[in-house]
Amino acid sequence: MKVKFTESFRMRVMMYTCISLLAAVLTDLAVLFLCIRSRILVSDYGLNNMNIHAGNNNYVLNNSRIQASTKSMLSESNIFYRIFGVGIKVQLIIILFILALVVFLLVFFALTHQVTGYITTILQGACKMADGDFSHRIKMADGDFSHRIDVRYQDEFSCIADSINRMADTVETMKKKEEEAEETKNELITNVAHDLRTPLTSIIGYIDIVNNMPDLTEAQRSEYLKITWEKARKLEKLINELFSFTKISYGGMPMHMEKIDLIKLLEQEVDELYPTFKDNELECVLETDTDSCMVMADGEQLVRVFDNLLGNAVKYGRYGKMIRVRTVTEQSQIRIQVVNYGSVIPAENLPFLFEKFYKIDTSRQPSSEGIGLGLAIAKSIVESHGGSISVKSSFDGTVFEVILPTAEKAQNEVA
């Protein structure tokens, strides 16, 4: 919440100053009045002068005396004599000056005490958020950015307090993101170490067998080389996922957008994966509601999306005996559904499927089946094309749905 201040601190200081000056003047006038009434540090010559004006007999003589005495008094208190008709001694002038100063300071301090206290509170809060403690001037290991300064008023200092609080919110958010990034990095290293080591160990093992066992039959040698090739392809896939994840994380994945017939792309993808379906005793059925649908997309990236979705369907739906790929064309978008009939994904796991390193079968634990980046990469690619991806799972099947805008809509948005 951003504070809009309505009270000007300058106006408040001017008002406090005027009030303090008024209090000092009134106090001095009250003391001066009491001194005149009590004739404390006040000369009698002025009063005698008023009495002499009322007398008749010794007027000239007394008037000359008063004039002579007044000359000495005027040198000390000419102003007071002219105003009050009495002479004020220097001691009283000094006392009145000191009293006015003391009253001014006391009243000004009393009026500004609340403001100065709030300024101190703001300073303490700012120091607590920084790397130190205000009261002891000692450095702490880290600033306490969870601390917030109370926004009490609607002036400039409240605006400063609110700005510091919002800055602390931003820094705290950045710290959390940094901690998450560090956690992600450590998780990435752990998963990479595990998932790369497994196929690499197999490759080294089978190559060692082929090299060091000359009595192997040709069939055995061919089988071991085939396993080595499959492990090497899996290793290549993991490395490609890592490169893609790195590019996506830093916004470095280039997109070469062009008009692509999505129906033809799906037909080609299903045909290319036919050997995989056959090896896993699966039937893949492509059901399209139109012969052609053009989209603005990077063909290579979309292939990666559907290759990943179909690969997951094979991996987790092999016991369902069938995979369906359906399209539903609408006015400005097309829906592509990849359906498998394997095990139902628990509802509590569905919101996390598109997170990096998430594993359906082992609940976020690393496995030899993959590094857990495929769906996260697919989601990023689809969203970069202005689309969306979602999943639902029930006894009627697990459905991954991709929604992409058609080429006409994409062109209209650009225009």
Phi, psi for residue 330 in degrees, rounded to 5: -115, -175
Model pTM score: 0.53
How many other C-beta atoms can be found within 10 angstroms of the C-beta atom of residue 138? 9
Digits of tens for pLDDT over the chain (415 positions)? 444 445 566 777 888 889 999 999 999 889 888 887 887 776 654 444 444 444 444 444 444 444 444 444 444 445 555 565 566 677 888 888 999 999 999 998 888 777 777 777 777 777 766 664 444 444 444 556 666 777 766 667 777 777 777 787 777 788 888 887 787 777 767 767 777 787 888 889 888 888 888 888 888 888 888 889 988 888 887 787 777 777 776 666 677 889 999 999 999 999 999 988 888 888 999 999 999 999 999 988 899 899 989 988 998 887 888 999 999 998 889 999 999 998 888 888 888 888 876 665 544 444 445 567 788 888 988 998 999 999 999 888 999 999 999 987 655 554 4
Rounded to the nearest 5°, which phi and psi values hold at 30? -65, -45
Q: Hey, what are 141's tokens?
A: 């290991």
By DSSP bridging, strand 258-261 and strand 294-297 are antiparallel
Taking the chain, what is the end-to-end CA distance rounded to the nearest angstrom?
Answer: 37
What is the gyration radius of the CA atoms in the chain, in angstroms?
A: 45
